[in-house]
Structure formats: structure tokens, C-alpha cells
Amino acid sequence: MRYASIAEGRTAPGLRLVLTADVPGPWGEAAKYILAFKGLSYLAVAQQGGGENAELQEWTGQAGAPVAVWNDEPPRSDSLDILFLAERLAPEPRLIPEDVTERVRMFGLIREVIGRRGIGWERRIMMIEPLMSAPDAPPNILRLAERYGCRPGLAAAAPAKVAAILEELARTLRVQHARGVPYFFGDAVSALDLYWASFANMLQPLSPEVCPMPAYMRVPYTDIGPVIAAALDPLLIEHRDMMFREHIGLPLDFLSEPAG
């Protein structure tokens, strides 16, 4: 992937998507999948994971990723705001159910996957807490620890929280499979299908051949422990693989193109 600099992205027209460079960050990957599903092109702009990102802070008012910027509109750093922007720019194919009951339930489960104290959040705490306690913890880890509110003891409670969410996702998917539908809601792909495909990588990473993430990510992503492993229904991984095979595509594209 070619990443533009912050300076380039700030002055470019159209749709820009700030992404953490060279890693498959689940929030950023999900934003990419949503835009691709909608057929929306964008300029990828590099953010450095755990870095100070002072230029990004000046531009968007925060230092994290992903961030979507459409023309001169205010930057959107909330994942659901990025989804709503995509729905506005390309109403079809829709990713938000028309039925209000399905819509409410879908957003509830999305929050449990991507939101504060959701799967992604708790998995990050499991990875960060052991590193932040080291006497030589690097500044980027300490910044991430502050962002996620890490403190001693939180990681011990995280596996049970993740497991409970996985069990609800599996129940939802099994109901759909019983009626002959492979997606979480309705009869077609919804935003939850794309979010789950991305965040499942934090529980059982895709193979190195299609997802060449660095070892410092792959090792902790693979180390989920017995509680989460017991709750990770094979049907959820089958769903993840189906989404990549039929709707997203492989290999993942997140490594920077060589200079020149």
C-alpha cells in the first residue's frame, strides 16, 4: 500500500483515510473493508501506532487511527461515524439494516466487538498490561496504556468478557444458519459481518501468507488463553474465512510500498 504523509493528506481533495502504517490494525482494516465494499476510493494516509503523531493531532484533533476525512468536512475518528459517512457517500449496497429491530441489535453487537470494553478493547488490554509494567517500557506502550486506561488487574478479567461476547455472536450466527443465511443479520452482508472479519484477526490471525503481520503482533494475537479459546466457536472462524473469500479478498494490503 502507498501511504501519503500527513501533509499530503491534509491538502488532498476527496476522501482520505488515516491508517496505522504497516500493521493490520482491526479498526483501520474494518474501515478499509467498509469503503471497499461500498466501492469508495480513498487516499491512505500514514499514522504511526503509539507515536506522538503531532501533525495528525494538529489536523484532526487526535493522534489515533483510523480517521476519515471527506473534502473540507470535519475529520471523523469514531468508527461508526466512518460507517455513517460511507453509507451517505454510497447508499448501496447498504450495510445498515432497514428494519429497526435488526438495526438496534446489530449496533449493539458492533459495540461489543469494536467499542470500549468490547473484544478489541479487552484484547488490547491483555496485550498492553504486561508490557507497561516493565521498568523499561517504551513510550509508545505507555501512550497506548494511557489511551486504553490500562492498570494492574484489568487483563485478568478480560478473557471472561471477551468469551461472553463471542458466545453471543455465535448464538446470533447459529440462528441465521438455521434459516439458511450465512450472515449475522437479514439476508445480506451487514456492517457487523465486516467488523467481525477484521477483529477475528485478534483471536485467530490469518496465515502469514495472506496477512504478513510482524511477529510482535502475531505472537500476542495468537495467545488468547483457554477461556477465549473455549468460547471461539469454529462457526465464527468459518464466517470470518467466508467473508474474506467472498467479499473482502486476500491477501491483506497494509505494508508500505518500497520507496522509489
Tens-place pLDDT, residues 131-150: 767 667 777 777 777 777 77
**Predicted pLDDT of residue 140:** 73
Say if residue 260's pLDDT is above 60.
no
Q: Which residues pair with 45 in a beta bridge?
A: 4, 18
Say if residue 130's pLDDT is above 80.
no
**Predicted pLDDT of residue 171:** 98
Coil/strand/helix, residue 142: helix
Rama region for 186: left / alpha / beta (φ>0; ψ in -120 to 50; rest)? left
**Predicted pLDDT of residue 144:** 74
Say if residue 172's pLDDT is above 90.
yes
Average per-residue pLDDT for the chain: 94
Query: Cβ distance 71 to 13 under 8 Å?
Result: yes
DSSP state of 202: G
Please name the residues in contact with 187: beta carbons below 8 A apart, sequence gap of 6 or more.
181
Tens digit of each residue's pLDDT (9 = 90 or more) over 15-70: 999 999 999 999 999 999 999 999 999 999 999 987 889 999 999 999 999 999 99
For domain 6-89, the CATH superfamily is Glutaredoxin (3.40.30.10)
**Predicted pLDDT of residue 39:** 98
Residue 131: Cβ within 10 Å count? 18
Q: Which residues pair with 4 in a beta bridge?
A: 45
**Predicted pLDDT of residue 150:** 72
Place of cell 458466545: 167
Query: Cβ distance 3 to 23 under 8 Å?
Result: no
Helix (H) or strand (E) holding 67: strand 67-70
Coil/strand/helix, residue 18: strand
What pTM did the predictor assign? 0.94
Residue range 242-260: mean pLDDT, rounded: 91
Residue 257: Cβ within 10 Å count? 9
